[in-house]
């Protein structure tokens, strides 16, 4: 079967096609981290803008690590399909907003720097996951101990996202290029501030004179993004082939829901994303805080507890009444009371929509995928709600139980899941360190103390004896009984319960 491409786009059946001439539009966006999420989210918003009004806003996608997305999309002229599905309803479309893909390494590194420095590029967007920022909360800047940062501070051939941006901004300054917006689209609180911090601290280490130019020519808006986009599977590719009549190696499956809130802080012109239903706001923080703590926090809790139950998919976790009840109570009684008032944002309805979306078996999302990189996600998703609850003497045991589940998932064996042990640990940038701390303890108490003492993850909260006690209690409960039984105990407890007697 022929591969999807510009030449055979007219042969595609059963999908909406781009409503613009790709050959007549210029490129105005570089996106770093061209994974599934960007292609099913920001690229679709841009695709909708191009369909409505054109403009030189085609996207050059960049991969800093893997050639996989290049091998999938380059033979297809950057084209790929997205299927949004819920229940028996589904909608297929071909996305045409991605023009090309460049992979770092060798000549690709220079090609990326040239594209980032091109004066026709007015917006640089990012989805590199939390760990891709190489951010140190203690330093409030880039982690100068990371090997890629050490390399990039000395080399003109960068490896990291901050390194690429700083070297490109140096070129833009030298060439007198127009201002540029660097827009983070990752699930990080104050993601624009963090992006600014890592870029500025990297710039200070490379050429401190660049800082004043950045002040005058670069903005770092915050944004909030929301859509569940599972990793592509062979089943999705087979489904796309049957639907489209052509082979599409870049096909994605997602849910109908999507949301994008962007801070109105741009250094130059931009696509009119608001015409594609994005929200351009003066302040993103309230939206961001609610989404990170409610949706992403519950997602992580479901993933860690689900893994310990032996559940492969998030929707399987929600099929357990005890897990669904625990997650609803976690959100209602432990997260919502710590959120600010959000005019026009009905929190009870939002919780309903979150749990319904997690239950959508038509878009299966692997628990292991959600559970990766917990040491980078937990500080954003769970810890702020725990800190708020402890400060105001509210219940936080369910949130602490999720932290306990993460700690147990870091172990390679010995998990009392009721369905067998976790055969391999979840991926984490600090996996070996954390597992070593857990294994070095004579008992669970000392292991938890050692993990929670990691200030780069837990900050001051890790030293709070109330927090430590609740996490230890959660670990004991999950180890003393089968995990489903433990969840039944917690879900049966009253809303104001702070802890559960695990004896």
Q: Which domain does 368 fall in, by range?
A: 301-492
Same domain, 344 and 447: yes
User: Residue 501's pLDDT band (boundaries 50, 70, 90)?
Assistant: very low
Are 222 and 359 in a shared domain?
no
Indicate the range of 50-59, 93-102, 260-269, 335-344 predicted with least confidence: 335-344
Whether residue 418 has pLDDT greater than 70: no
pLDDT for residue 113 is more than 90: yes
Instruction: State how far Cα 2 lies from the chain centre.
Output: 33
Chain-centroid distance, C-alpha 38: 10
First-to-last alpha carbon distance for the chain, in angstroms, is 61
Does one domain contain both 93 and 233? yes
Residue among 195, 191, 117 nearest 161 (CA): 195
Band of residue 148 on the pLDDT scale cut at 50, 70, 90: very high
Asked if 266 contacts 181 with a C-beta cutoff of 8 angstroms, the reply is: yes
153-162 average pLDDT score: 97
Q: Do 429 and 372 lie in a common domain?
A: yes
Contacting residues for 118 by C-beta, under 8 A, at least 6 apart: 177
The pLDDT of residue 388 is: 96
**Judgement on whether residues 34 and 181 belong to the same structural domain of the protein:** yes
Q: Over 451-471, what HEC string results?
A: HHCCHHHHHHHHHCHHHHHHH
The residue ranking higher by pLDDT, 345 or 497, is 345
pLDDT band at 494 (very low <50, low <70, confident <90, very high): low
pLDDT value of residue 413:
38
- Considering the domain architecture, whether residues 327 and 468 belong to the same structural domain is answered as yes
Does 318 lie in the same domain as 264?
no
Strand order in the sheet with 259-263: 223-226, 259-263, 279-281
SS (H, E, C) 77-136: CCCEEEEEEECCEEEEEEECCEEEEEECCCHHHHHHHHHHHCCCCCEEEECCCHHHHCEE
Residue 497 lies in a domain: no
Q: 310 with 165, same domain? A: no
Does residue 1 fall inside a structural domain?
no
| CATH number of the domain where residue 402 is located | 1.10.1040.10
Least confident range of 237-246, 289-298, 441-450: 441-450
Query: What pLDDT digit, counting tens, does each position of 325-372 carry?
Result: 999 999 999 999 999 877 777 888 999 999 999 999 999 999 999 999
Q: What's the structural domain count of the chain?
A: 2
């Amino acid at each position: 079967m022929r591969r999807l491409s510009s030449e055979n786009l007219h042969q595609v059946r059963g999908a909406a096609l781009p409503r613009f001439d790709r050959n007549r539009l210029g490129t105005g966006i570089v996106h770093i981290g061209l994974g599934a999420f960007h292609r099913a989210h920001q690229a679709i918003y841009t695709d909708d803008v191009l369909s409505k009004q054109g403009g030189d806003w085609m996207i050059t996608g960049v991969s800093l690590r893997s050639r996989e997305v290049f091998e999938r999309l380059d033979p297809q002229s950057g084209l790929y399909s997205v299927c949004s599905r819920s229940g028996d309803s589904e909608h297929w479309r071909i996305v045409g907003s991605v023009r090309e893909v460049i992979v770092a390494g060798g000549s690709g590194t220079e090609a990326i720097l040239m594209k980032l420095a091109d004066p026709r590029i007015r917006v640089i967007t990012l989805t590199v996951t939390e760990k891709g920022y190489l951010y140190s909360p203690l330093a409030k800047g880039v982690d100068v101990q990371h090997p890629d940062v050490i390399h990039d501070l000395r080399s003109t051939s960068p490896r990291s996202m901050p390194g690429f941006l700083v070297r490109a901004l140096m070129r833009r300054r030298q060439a007198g290029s127009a201002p540029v917006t660097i827009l983070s689209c990752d699930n990080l609180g104050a993601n624009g501030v963090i992006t600014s911090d890592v870029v500025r601290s990297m710039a200070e280490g490379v050429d401190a004179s660049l800082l004043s130019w950045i002040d005058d020519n670069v903005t770092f808006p915050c944004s909030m993004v929301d859509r569940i986009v599972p990793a592509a599977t062979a089943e999705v590719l087979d489904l796309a082939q049957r639907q489209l009549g052509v082979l599409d190696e870049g096909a994605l499956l997602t849910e109908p829901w999507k949301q994008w809130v962007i801070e109105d802080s741009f250094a130059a012109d931009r696509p009119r994303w608001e015409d594609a239903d994005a929200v351009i706001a003066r302040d993103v923080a309230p939206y961001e805080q609610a989404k990170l703590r409610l949706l992403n926090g519950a997602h992580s809790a479901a993933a860690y507890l689900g893994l310990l139950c032996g559940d492969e998919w998030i929707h399987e976790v929600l099929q357990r009444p005890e897990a669904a009840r625990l997650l609803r109570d976690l959100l209602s009684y432990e997260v919502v009371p710590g959120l600010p008032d959000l005019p026009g944002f009905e929190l009870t309805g939002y919780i309903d929509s979150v749990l319904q979306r997690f239950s959508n078996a038509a878009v299966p999302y692997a628990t292991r995928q959600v559970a990766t990189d917990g040491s980078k996600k937990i500080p954003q998703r769970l810890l702020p709600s725990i800190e708020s609850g402890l400060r105001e003497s509210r219940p936080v045991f369910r949130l602490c139980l999720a932290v306990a589940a993460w700690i147990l998932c870091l172990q390679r064996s010995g998990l009392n899941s009721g369905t067998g042990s976790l055969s391999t640990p979840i991926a984490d940038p600090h996996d070996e360190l954390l597992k070593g701390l857990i294994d070095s303890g004579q008992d669970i108490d000392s292991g938890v103390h050692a993990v929670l003492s990691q200030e780069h993850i837990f900050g001051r909260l890790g030293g709070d004896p109330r927090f430590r006690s609740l996490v230890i209690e959660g670990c004991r409960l999950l180890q003393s009984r089968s995990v489903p039984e433990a969840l039944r105990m917690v879900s049966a407890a009253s809303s104001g319960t702070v802890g559960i007697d695990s004896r």
